[in-house]
């Protein structure tokens, strides 16, 4: 667990524990990282995790997962990102920026672009209206997205990050192209799995052309969508075989989407996930075909479970919520402690509200850490959800004002 891991590009992680991405929703005005994010990552740096992967950083200011998301484009000032990377790397960890486009998973009241492979709307019952109607992308828009991913990765390297993780899971744009449920195109970007994977592979290739050989390029991939007729384990295996031929340093295996939040332990297709290390069995199977190191995330909160993941042949154990609760968890494990790492249980009947509340609880804890406060507090799920909704409204107003100020020129990729 505490031995180093050398990646295919020759760089080394100091240990086998990774902070998996959690969407912080903590950007300052202008959608840039500020002191709160710097302090948050300083806490994780001090806590002994070997790899820190940021929450979603958006490649296009017109398409955000939430109004508090960080945006990094070709023209974005780099100094706030330099400070972010400096804090995260201060104790020897590597820090990778997770870069993403939400595709159709854009909130309607934000007024952004809900680009998608096909105009297939989210199916979330009475909550579906929360999301903007998706628009099928043109060839020009697809090429723009590829260029934007490459521009953001290049900017991340210039700011001092050690690598990027391309988000191709959880129902975001690249994941939408991979799934036959959301990709119903009849051109070169749809139909066969080879065509559906074309955008992800093109993004990896474009990034590799822009960054240095020692800069890590990783991919976050669903082991499955956990929706009937969607992206399957066999699909994931074939995509991994395509990625084997590219200079990919790590693949993180997760699962699910907004419609089927398997990353929170619940699958919509009726399959039962493990109580801990949700995707470990899938990772074991996929490790047989992967030439790069694999990481799996989801439900890992105890040292014994992290060790089980590593003993199974998976190179890195990705930890998310447990590191929000206990930011120095790796150091505590190293010293022989086993602190409690559970957030309050939410057992309501409405699954969408449960997912929103669980995310709100984590974000509230991250904001507390961003103030420098690591003391645990007891959070009310209902109060936290309501407060998060009010905070989101305020951030949405701020984002819409900023978005309007960017003008047409701000939408160009470099």
- pLDDT in the model for residue 269: 40
How many alpha carbons lie under 13 Å from residue 402 in its C-beta half-sphere? 21
- pLDDT in the model for residue 233: 84
Please, which residues have CB within 8 angstroms of residue 317's CB and are 6 or more apart in sequence? Answer: 1, 16, 17, 18, 295, 296, 300, 305, 306, 309, 310
Other CB atoms within a 10 A radius of the CB of residue 78 amount to: 15
* 5-411: CATH topology: TIM Barrel (3.20.20)
- pLDDT in the model for residue 227: 60
- pLDDT in the model for residue 262: 45
Locate the domains of the chain by residue range. 5-411
Report how far apart, in Å, the C-alpha atoms of 296 and of each of 3, 251, 317, 339, 363 are.
18, 8, 6, 22, 22
Distance CA 221, CA 232 (A): 11
Which is it for strands 51-53 and 12-13: parallel, antiparallel or unpaired?
unpaired
Distance CA 260, CA 179 (A): 13
In order along the chain (414 residues), what is the average pLDDT of each group of 10 residues?
97 97 95 97 97 97 96 97 98 98 93 93 82 95 98 98 96 94 96 96 98 97 69 88 96 73 45 56 85 90 91 92 95 94 83 86 94 85 94 96 74 41
From the list 64, 2, 55, the residue with the least C-alpha distance to 26 is 55
- pLDDT in the model for residue 408: 42
Distance CA 369, CA 357 (A): 19
What is the pTM assigned to this prediction?
Answer: 0.92
Please, which residues have CB within 8 angstroms of residue 47's CB and are 6 or more apart in sequence? Answer: 323, 326, 327, 328, 329, 330, 331
- pLDDT in the model for residue 211: 98
Determine contact, residues 386/398, Cβ cutoff 8 Å: no
- pLDDT in the model for residue 267: 44
Coil, helix or strand for 18?
Answer: strand
């Amino acid at each position: 667990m505490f031995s180093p891991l050398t990646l295919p590009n020759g760089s080394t992680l100091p240990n086998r524990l990774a902070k998996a991405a959690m969407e912080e929703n903590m950007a300052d005005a202008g959608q840039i990282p500020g002191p709160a994010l710097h302090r948050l990552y300083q806490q994780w740096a001090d806590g002994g995790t070997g790899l820190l992967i940021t929450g979603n950083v958006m490649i296009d200011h017109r398409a955000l997962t939430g109004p508090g998301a960080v945006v990094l484009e070709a023209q974005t000032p780099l100094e706030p990102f330099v400070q972010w990377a400096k804090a995260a790397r201060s104790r020897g960890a590597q820090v990778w920026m997770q870069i993403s486009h939400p595709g159709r998973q854009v909130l309607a009241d934000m007024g952004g672009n809900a680009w998608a492979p096909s105009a297939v709307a989210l199916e979330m019952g009475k909550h579906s209206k929360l999301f903007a109607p998706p628009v099928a992308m043109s060839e020009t828009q697809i090429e723009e997205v590829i260029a934007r991913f490459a521009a953001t990765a290049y900017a991340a390297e210039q700011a001092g990050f050690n690598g990027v993780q391309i988000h191709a899971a959880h129902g975001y744009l690249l994941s939408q192209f991979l799934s036959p449920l959301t990709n119903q195109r009849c051109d070169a970007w749809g139909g066969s799995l080879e065509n559906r994977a074309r955008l992800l592979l093109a993004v990896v290739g474009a990034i590799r052309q822009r960054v240095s050989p020692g800069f890590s390029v990783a991919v976050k991939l669903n082991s499955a969508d956990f929706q009937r007729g969607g992206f399957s384990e066999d699909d994931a295996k074939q995509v991994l075989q395509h990625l084997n031929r590219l200079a990919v340093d790590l693949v993180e295996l997760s699962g699910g989407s907004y419609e089927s939040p398997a990353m929170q332990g619940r699958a919509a297709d009726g399959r039962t996930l493990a109580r801990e290390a949700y995707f470990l069995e899938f990772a074991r199977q996929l490790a047989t075909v992967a030439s790069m190191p694999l990481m799996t995330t989801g439900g890992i909160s105890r040292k014994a479970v992290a060790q089980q993941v590593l003993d199974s042949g998976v190179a890195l154990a990705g930890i998310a919520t447990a590191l929000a609760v206990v930011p120095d968890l790796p150091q505590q494990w190293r010293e022989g402690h086993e602190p409690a790492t559970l957030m309050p249980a939410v057992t309501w009947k409405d699954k969408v509200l449960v997912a929103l509340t669980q995310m709100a609880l984590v974000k509230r804890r991250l904001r507390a850490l961003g103030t420098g406060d690591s003391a645990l507090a007891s959070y009310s799920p209902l109060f936290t959800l309501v407060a998060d909704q009010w905070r989101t409204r305020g951030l949405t107003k701020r984002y819409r004002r900023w978005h309007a100020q960017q003008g047409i020129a701000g939408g160009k990729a470099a």
